[in-house]
Amino acid sequence: MLRKSVEFLSQQLKYSSSLFRNYLFHNYLVSITFTKVWLVSAMLVTTIFVVNGCVNAQALPVLRLGMNNWPGYAIALYAQEAKLFEKRGIQVEITKFNNQQDNIRATIRGAQDMSFVTLWELMQIDPANDRPAVILVADLSSGSDAIVARSNVPSIKDLKGRKVSAKLGTVAHLILLQALQSGMIKPQDVEIVDVSNERGAELLQQGKVDAAVMWEPLLGETIKNADLKVIFDTADVDSLVVDCLAVSSKKVSIHRESLVKFILAWFDAIQGVENNPNLVFGVIANQTNQTLEAVAKGYSGLKKGDIALNQRMFEKNGRLESIIADSQRLLLEDTRHARVIRHDVEIAPDPLMEAIKMWQPQ
């Protein structure tokens, strides 16, 4: 009897041990399976995020912009560093140019998408397969460009028969022509010394010219000389010196959505100038190797390219149309520039007007 009991207990222990082993093995399999499922799920989630990130980055359209360091254009440098373009859904690649004709030529010939350039330069670009179109006004000169004269030339009217330095065919030439018009002097009654602003300032200091066209920061440095004074600046008139954003005419429709986004980001940056100018000018100063004070002073002589200015410029029969007509007339009156004048500059307001409807203060 005792023997049977022992055998029974032994069998029960073996059975229990077997159950326990099966239980452990089952849990092990479940654990392994769960771990594999978790790892696969994690890998899938990670892959989804990575792929989405790559797709989002690749999906942002790229606009190629040409410009120089003029304060009115340099607002785009702030917009880029502050990622305002990316927030609006585009990327912008910026190329710097020393020669503005090279800049706009690259745009019209398709090497880049758009240029910040003066309207004056735009009207003189070489003929190409397409025509230039203006889609935004970046700024309007209002005191940042001037004519500085020696003490024996008290006013614009006294320039008749004098020597004035201005690079022919450039915006300096336009400033001089508008100043002469305001003083009712014919262009031919003034001898134009065809040199750069920097060289003109040197000649003025040396007494080799009677007056010189210049702008900031050279303007501020030059008038420190007590024998020199400003006899005209662009705040004295409704200036023809307009800085604009130009594209080739074909690109207005091809890149319309991206151009609208660029203009929205531009207005965001202009709001930054209004709300925190030192921040904006500080960024520009760092990127252009200037002082914050120099950037601020240069920009203070401009009417900023905000919504109000652009509405005035682009409205039907607006100021932009009359500026083009007046500039063409002045170019025709003084042919010493020897440039071919374009009469096909297009005013393309649609991207701007769409952006104005969409934009809201941030």
Choose between 225 and 46: higher pLDDT.
Answer: 225
Region of poorest pLDDT, from 19-28, 68-77, 235-244, 330-339: 19-28
> Under a CB-based contact definition with an 8 Å cutoff, are residues 134 and 122 in contact?
yes
- How far apart (Å, rounded) are the C-alpha atoms in residues 262 and 89? 9
Of 221, 273, 304, the residue nearest 84 (C-alpha): 273
State the pLDDT at residue 125: 80
Q: Kindly tell me if the per-residue pLDDT of 40 is higher than 70.
A: no
- How far apart (Å, rounded) are the C-alpha atoms in residues 115 and 100? 9
The proportion of the chain whose per-residue pLDDT surpasses 70, expressed as a percent, equals 84
Q: Kindly tell me if the per-residue pLDDT of 244 is higher than 90.
A: yes
Q: Kindly tell me if the per-residue pLDDT of 24 is higher than 50.
A: no
Work out the pLDDT band at 109, boundaries 50, 70, 90: very high
Write the Ramachandran bin of 215: left for phi over 0, alpha for psi from -120 to 50, otherwise beta. beta
Q: Kindly tell me if the per-residue pLDDT of 128 is higher than 80.
A: no
* pTM of the complete model beyond 0.85: no
Q: Kindly tell me if the per-residue pLDDT of 29 is higher than 70.
A: no
Residues in a beta bridge with 249: none
State the pLDDT at residue 58: 62
State the pLDDT at residue 11: 53
The arithmetic mean of pLDDT across residues 296-301, rounded, is 94
Domains and CATH numbers, the chain: 60-142+239-358 (3.40.190.10), 145-236 (3.40.190.10)
The arithmetic mean of pLDDT across residues 257-285, rounded, is 98
State the chain's mean pLDDT as an integer: 87
Region of poorest pLDDT, from 27-36, 221-230, 272-281: 27-36
> Under a CB-based contact definition with an 8 Å cutoff, are residues 168 and 194 in contact?
yes
The arithmetic mean of pLDDT across residues 264-293, rounded, is 97
Going by the DSSP 8-state scheme, the letter that residue 156 receives in this structure is G
Of 226, 171, 166, the residue nearest 200 (C-alpha): 166
Q: Kindly tell me if the per-residue pLDDT of 15 is higher than 80.
A: no
Please calculate the CA angle 86-254-315 and round it to the nearest 5 degrees.
Answer: 85
Choose between 141 and 19: higher pLDDT.
Answer: 141
The arithmetic mean of pLDDT across residues 179-199, rounded, is 96
Choose between 44 and 328: higher pLDDT.
Answer: 328
Work out the pLDDT band at 47, boundaries 50, 70, 90: very low
The arithmetic mean of pLDDT across residues 59-85, rounded, is 96
The arithmetic mean of pLDDT across residues 228-234, rounded, is 96
- How far apart (Å, rounded) are the C-alpha atoms in residues 183 and 293? 33
Query: Which residues of the chain form beta strands (DSSP E)?
Result: 62-67, 91-96, 114-118, 132-141, 145-150, 163-165, 191-193, 211-215, 228-233, 242-248, 302-304, 346-347
Please provide residue 214's backbone torsions phi and psi, each rounded to the nearest 5 degrees: -160, 175
